[in-house]
């Protein structure tokens, strides 16, 4: 799979630093959390799908780290940097073992199929 991202050579040199620094803090924070934790869910307040992802993990007694950035009315520019970084268009963003697995529906599929336990190394055995 090839992700379409504008090649750096197509950015004028005068704007490269601006593009590189755009909300680097939030991307760095999420990247560091994903590196340190087996499961990370990135979400936002008021979003029912973010709540659903957390409820699914709670129901399956699966520990996770939840990072919340704003709501529908706040922090959308910062969240947009995460969308550009991952290529995932919606929230939540669920990461398992440093890999983006999708949103709440995708997380539910992993839990129901037993794939989540496989990815985590069968934590029950």
Confidence of residue 125 (pLDDT cuts 50, 70, 90): very low
Closest CA to 48 of 89, 92, 3, 97: 92
pLDDT digits over 30-82, tens only?
Answer: 999 999 999 999 999 999 999 999 999 999 999 999 999 999 999 999 999 99
The mean pLDDT value of the chain amounts to 95
Q: What is the pTM of this model?
A: 0.92
pLDDT digits over 69-115, tens only?
Answer: 999 999 999 999 999 999 999 999 999 999 999 999 999 999 999 99
Closest CA to 106 of 121, 91, 118: 91
Strands 93-96 and 99-102: antiparallel
Confidence of residue 1 (pLDDT cuts 50, 70, 90): confident
Class of domain 23-119: alpha beta
Confidence of residue 122 (pLDDT cuts 50, 70, 90): low
| Residue 27 Cα to chain centre, angstroms | 10
Q: Are 40 and 94 in contact (CB under 8 A)?
A: yes
Cα–Cα distance, 104 to 6 (Å, whole number): 29
Cα–Cα distance, 71 to 68 (Å, whole number): 9
Cα–Cα distance, 53 to 42 (Å, whole number): 10
């Amino acid at each position: 799979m090839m992700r379409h991202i504008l090649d750096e050579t197509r950015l004028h040199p005068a704007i490269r630093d601006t593009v590189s620094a755009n909300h680097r803090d939030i991307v760095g924070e999420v990247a560091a959390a994903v590196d340190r934790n087996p499961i990370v869910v990135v979400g936002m307040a008021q979003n029912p799908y973010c709540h659903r992802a957390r409820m699914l993990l709670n129901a399956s007694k699966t520990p996770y780290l939840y990072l919340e950035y704003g709501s529908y009315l706040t922090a959308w520019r910062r969240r947009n940097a995460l969308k550009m970084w991952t290529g995932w268009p919606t929230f939540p963003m669920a990461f398992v073992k440093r890999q983006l697995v999708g949103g709440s529906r995708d997380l539910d599929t992993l839990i129901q199929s037993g794939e989540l336990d496989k990815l985590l190394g069968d934590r029950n055995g």
